Structure 1
């Protein structure tokens, strides 16, 4: 089940368990899932399994005569405060965005002689449209959440709960369109190109080993960018045949149970085990972080640094480098696994995906399109058994 279903399931379970004790009372739920809050507001969703929870929620509300309300906050804290005082986000980058949003809001109100506390819905509409010229819809949402939390902490009502403001935000989102980045996969051919350009670059020998080791581990381990740049030597063990990397936390492991990724030796020029041994032997001291720059001082590898190096190397190779980033290794691993005719359940397991999001990572190579069309031309749908998506690649390979 998706995270939205899990969030609503917790609320429905609470109402079912304690609804009889809340008879004719007003209940305020704090939820950190924006999709769940939107579904609650609309009272409907296209997801059938989530709609079951929505109906149950409204049923219990009527049965126990409850006046239920919700409040969306970005993230809980380790020591939550009372419900009347929602928590500010604990992530550094989120807190910085919230503070920046409040600063811009106060400057906007000072410029046009508007009240900051309490701010009217019309003021927030003007502010949202004003900022939409420079920032994205998602950033505007973060700014509005910061204004909301600031008002509640100062004893005012939430000024963002206004239908007109929601319509203005929806119009901003439609006007800006879909700004989702088009990230291309780093497949084996691109990976070999990176190796060639890295060999010709001006990096030191140790930095070349470090970067190439990070690239190969990211590809063969199906790692997210945040997972391989923060790798520590204590989490890596290896022998002559394989390496084992322990992830203490990840995106799909909310309870921090940990997961061990095994990467085995290959005979190709992109073997991650071989280059890791070379890199480990070249490191005179062993700092906690595995991937570090050693020019003058120890500088940990970061996602922006990986993206910068990838684009620099691909630019030297004459390729269109702007659509490649630190996450492209994971996308390329999924694309390569699909091209190798691995079943979908295996790809999902290798990448540690808890949903079907990995399907959007798989890019269909243009060279395979003629075989697909030949397969369609020779298929009689009336005599076919139940469709098996894992058999598709085998049929295409037979036609090739």
Structure 2
């Protein structure tokens, strides 16, 4: 169980690029990073508007002199300080992730980056090589993976509780953009602009979340080929899709599907993953994240709750408050930021922690590769394409 005690000897000196006032995601980054005393927010380039960013940083108790107008200035000035930043989180629009991540790694910093890591597999592999060369950690914020029952699912599958895995059914299909809401919302508008969002909308924005959950639960599964069909039901979003269906064949013969959508009218999140084995199935839904549905063929369905002793020990290590109390996305993100901190601290000491998984640079690469292959399939008439 987590009690908030220190995991690293000294908090990692940390900064943010983006995540300022009006950001959809900035606050959860700060809440997650600061919760367990693993990071200390000491600097930031919080906003494209320098004055607004400085005011925001001051309201976060950041030294005004360390509230910078842009990330380039921040990296240069912080490098001159003995107490300069060691890590940076990137919470900016998609089109900037590659250049900021590359600059941070080149400057010798650890990185936590919003997904997608970048737009092309070539760029992603370049960043992966740079991170390896510099011995720096890159974490990707697939925040749902921090929920305790994802670890329970991983352990159940590894232990053979489900038998041989046959089918992985995934979806993230919400309804909040079933109309052209971007016309009056700047924080949504950039997501449907190919110059800023990249080659896809919902595939990269929501589809990669359940995809990463499947990678956590099934770490040895490799995609052999896939087929993807994309639609732009709100026509002004074309050429970017607001709905997509992807079918995948794994190298071991298992099959997977992903429904990625923002036009599932009436759905809050519609984010779930179901893993079907020869003996039993499990299903996790992010609107009920504290529970895992376990269905053994021929027996009544069971609901497993987080924090209970019947779960595997590995699923209890991230518990923060005991069974019965509802935990949510902020706790899930906090668990991931704790893992990021452990990995960064170990790297700084020249060590590698065994059995510590988190959404790392390779997960970022695979997310980009999956989107790229889905777009390639869809652009060629929803044909099967080899994954690599």
Query: TM-score, length-normalised on structure 1?
Result: 0.25
The structure whose Rg is larger is 1
TM-score (norm 2): 0.26
Q: Higher relative CO (CA 8 A, sep ≥ 6), structure 1 or 2?
A: 2
